[in-house]
Amino acid sequence: MSNPNWLVFQLPELMSQQDANATRFKELLRTPSLSCSLYHIPAGSKEMQSAHEEDELYLVLEGRARLRVEDEDHHVEKGTMMYVRTACDHAFFDIEEDLSVLVFFGAPVRHRSGF
């Protein structure tokens, strides 16, 4: 029986369900103030992300790549955590090793108090 106030996720189990040969974005959780997804990009893929209307927090679980945020490039690998502010252009590229990323999205700007 599930409790609507909390959920438990086992990352090894979630990651074992990924198709290693396909780009995949699997939403794990969505509430009015937060969402969380598991994002997988195979090595050599072209990732075509763009700016979002939510703040984002990425945690690299596996792999190596580069992340471009506006005009700056950053090396990312297992254990790297990155914050990308609302409406910033960004994309992963030069994906050297299959990349698995846990992505947290905040509430869209239009839903925040005072905006």
Cα–Cα distance list, 5 to 14, 29, 102, 107 (Å)? 21, 12, 21, 18
- Six-digit token string for 21: 């040969």
**In terms of pTM, does the model score above 0.85?**
no
Please write the tens of the pLDDT for every residue from 29-82.
999 999 999 999 999 987 666 677 889 999 999 999 999 999 999 999 999 999
The CATH code of the domain at 25-108 is: 2.60.120.10
pLDDT at 25: 86
Q: Where are the domains of the chain?
A: 25-108
Q: What is the 3-state secondary structure (H, E, C) of the chain?
A: CCCCCCCCCCHHHHHHCCCCCCCEEEEEEECCCEEEEEEEECCCCCCCCCCCCCCEEEEEEEEEEEEEECCEEEEEECCCEEEECCCCCEEEEEEEEEEEEEEEEECCHHHCCCC
The percent of residues in the chain predicted with pLDDT above 70, rounded, is 88
Q: Which of 4, 40, 5, 6 is nearest to 23 (CA)?
A: 40
